[in-house]
Amino acid sequence: MCKLGQNESPADMASQARAFRDRGRDSMDRLADCIERHDNLPRQEPGHGPVEPADAAD
């Protein structure tokens, strides 16, 4: 198991996933997918603004 994002806030991890996805490479998309799954974040499309974590919408 990797320590990617350990002790980081969901907002920080969503920002990081968005930055990876904005690079437009398949490998960066896979890394963003991993972050989003691990932190229970909604999938973000490249270039879109900040997204609240799925559990914050309640």
pLDDT tens-digit series, residues 2-30: 566 677 888 888 888 899 999 989 999 99
Q: Report percent pLDDT > 90 for the chain.
A: 14
**Residue linked to tokens 């499309």:** 45
pTM of the predicted protein model:
0.65
**pLDDT for position 28:** 92
**pLDDT for position 57:** 46
Residue 37 has pLDDT above 50, yes or no: yes
**pLDDT for position 10:** 86
Interacting residues of 13 by C-beta distance below 8 A, sequence separation 6+: 5, 35, 38, 39, 41
